[in-house]
């Protein structure tokens, strides 16, 4: 049985490259992340194809707009069959609550399993300089991530995306049933690329993450399958 905790990011701009990676990884990986680059290039057929291969899909489109627009957008995406959808917590409580309520209503009305809805807290690429540059120098970033996590939970969302460095405090304060999805995962010795708040796969799991989103460390590896197997082995030993 494949370990669902590894979500591989299909950050490609065409269907063939995405399909090749999924084929290469085979039965060992069942969860994939489809983000803006792939979805905007290829559209809904990538989600339909992944579902036809019995894969799970995190459709990472990071919606952020007024409540009615986000809720309507999510309902449309739900009908594609994604297992996880997301919004930005910075869109505010009313946006998140409207989105969660409408998604649940629409799922019930349509007789489909409601996807998990999670919120982006603060992007894992944001470092101190970026943070201060946005005018938040008086605000502690970790406290803000935690604040967003609690706000998302209060609005009825299922979990958050956060950096692995904030998983522990979120797990402690939001409880066992709140999903924590962490990108910014870098196995020992790999490049951090444009990420900033990164961690090892085993540490992220140990600190409470339910899912790890891994892109370049697998996609750009000389042997992507081996890179995925190494991460699966590492988290299997936690």
What residue ranges bind ligand C5P (CB under 6 A)?
Answer: 9, 11, 33, 35, 60, 120, 123-124, 161, 183-184, 193, 195, 213-217
Q: Which residues pair with 117 in a beta bridge?
A: 85
Select 4 or 105, whichever has its Cβ closest to ligand C5P.
4
Tell me the closest approach of the beta carbon of residue 135 to ligand C5P, in angstroms. 20
Select 37 or 101, whichever has its Cβ closest to ligand C5P.
37
Q: What are phi and psi of 220, to 5 degrees?
A: -95, 5
Tell me the closest approach of the beta carbon of residue 25 to ligand C5P, in angstroms. 15
Please identify which of the residues 33, 51, 56, 62 carries the catalytic annotation.
Answer: 62
CA 238 – CA 225 distance, rounded (Å): 21
Select 80 or 204, whichever has its Cβ closest to ligand C5P.
204
Task: Estimate to the nearest angstrom the gap between the alpha carbon of 123 and the chain centroid.
Answer: 11
Tell me the closest approach of the beta carbon of residue 37 to ligand C5P, in angstroms. 8
Select 56 or 106, whichever has its Cβ closest to ligand C5P.
56
Start-to-end C-alpha separation, the chain: 17
Furthest-apart CA atoms within the chain: distance in Å: 49
**Has 62 been annotated as catalytic?**
yes
DSSP state letters, 184-226: -B--TT---TT--S-B-HHHHHHTT-SEEEE-HHHHTSSSHHH
Select 165 or 195, whichever has its Cβ closest to ligand C5P.
195
Q: Which residue has the tokens 């140990």?
A: 206
CA 194 – CA 106 distance, rounded (Å): 37
Tell me if residue 57 falls in helix, strand or coil: strand
- Measured at CB, which residue is nearest to ligand C5P? 215
CA 46 – CA 199 distance, rounded (Å): 29
Tell me the closest approach of the beta carbon of residue 111 to ligand C5P, in angstroms. 30
Burial 49-84 (b: 16+ CB within 10 A, else e): bbeeeebbbbbbbbbbeebeebbbbbbebbebbbbb
Task: Estimate to the nearest angstrom the gap between the alpha carbon of 86 and the chain centroid.
Answer: 8
Tell me the closest approach of the beta carbon of residue 110 to ligand C5P, in angstroms. 27
Give the catalytic positions in this structure.
Answer: 62
């Amino acid at each position: 049985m494949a370990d669902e905790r590894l979500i591989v990011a299909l950050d490609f701009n065409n269907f063939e490259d995405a399909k090749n990676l999924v084929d290469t990884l085979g039965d060992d990986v069942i969860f994939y992340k489809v983000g803006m680059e792939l979805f905007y290039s290829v559209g809904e057929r990538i989600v339909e194809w992944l579902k036809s291969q019995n894969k799970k899909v995190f459709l990472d489109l990071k919606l952020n707009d007024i409540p009615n627009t986000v809720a309507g957008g999510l309902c449309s995406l739900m009908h594609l069959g994604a297992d996880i959808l997301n919004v930005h917590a910075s869109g505010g409580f009313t946006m998140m609550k409207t989105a969660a309520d409408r998604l649940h209503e629409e799922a019930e009305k349509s007789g489909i399993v409601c996807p998990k809805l999670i919120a982006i807290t603060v992007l894992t690429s944001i470092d101190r300089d970026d943070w201060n540059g946005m005018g938040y120098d008086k605000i502690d970033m970790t406290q803000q991530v935690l604040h967003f996590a609690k706000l998302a939970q209060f609005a009825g969302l299922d979990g958050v995306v956060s950096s692995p460095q904030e998983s522990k405090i979120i797990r402690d304060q939001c409880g066992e049933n709140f999903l924590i999805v962490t990108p910014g995962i870098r196995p020992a010795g790999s490049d951090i690329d444009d990420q900033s708040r990164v961690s090892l796969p085993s540490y992220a799991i140990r600190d409470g993450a339910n899912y790890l989103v891994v892109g370049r460390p697998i996609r750009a590896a000389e042997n992507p399958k081996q890179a995925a197997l190494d991460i699966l082995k590492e988290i299997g030993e936690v």
